[in-house]
Amino acid sequence: MMLGAENINQLFCGMPNGCEPAALLMGLHWKAEAATLDYGAFLAEMPIAADYNPYHGFGGDPADDVAGRFEAIFPEPLTKWANRYGRARNVSGADTAQLKDMLTEKNPIVTYVTVGFETPVSDDYAFGRALSNNHAVLLDGRCGELLHVSDPIDGAYWLPVARFEKAYNARHWAVELL
């Protein structure tokens, strides 16, 4: 089953660090929410963390790449932001079987993985330890041992569950759009 969410390319839009908002907007649009907002307008409404802490909001500017900053937004503030437009819940801790069940319910899921689904690499930041190769994609389909992702960097494609888990299982972070 495949939902067929749109794909927003963050790099085409000049946002090297805009994966979480792109993945979220793809899912919201699929749910017919935030329909009047394009990616740029959506970013203008994004909660920014004054202390650059992604646990409080977006830690910087998605158009910038500043050494020592972690330009991202983590699940809790992303969920709060998503709930401005529709219904979302932080399902961090869910395993792949649970994610597949959510997809069966026709709920796209923003999942935190790594760029290119590579091996997770951690580093220390002012707010604590985090994956330096952090990335977020929208899960919008499943077929046997394949998951369909709409990736804000690499487009839409099918991915083996085992490869997805290599990156996802480092944190088990996800936000389901209800």
End-to-end C-alpha distance for the chain, whole angstroms: 17
Q: Are 168 and 111 in contact, with CB atoms under 8 Å apart?
A: yes
Q: How far apart are CA 3 and CA 174, in angstroms?
A: 17
Spell out the domain ranges in the chain: 19-177
Closest listed residue to residue 91, CA positions, set 112, 65, 116: 112
Class of the CATH-defined domain 19-177: alpha beta
Per-residue pLDDT of the chain (178 residues; tens, 9 = 90+): 999 999 999 999 999 999 999 999 999 999 999 999 999 999 999 999 999 999 999 999 999 888 878 999 999 999 999 999 999 999 999 999 999 999 999 999 999 999 999 999 999 999 999 999 999 999 999 999 999 999 999 999 999 999 999 999 999 999 999 9
Tell how strand 88-90 and strand 146-151 pair up. Answer: unpaired
Q: How far apart are CA 122 and CA 99, in angstroms?
A: 24
For the entire predicted model, the pTM comes to 0.97
DSSP one-letter string for 140-159: EEEETTEEEEEETTTEEEEE
- Six-digit token pair at 158? 């099918």
Residue type, 111: T
For every residue of 36-72, which 3-state class applies, written as one string? CCCHHHHHHCCCECCCCCCCCCECCCCCCCCCCCCCC
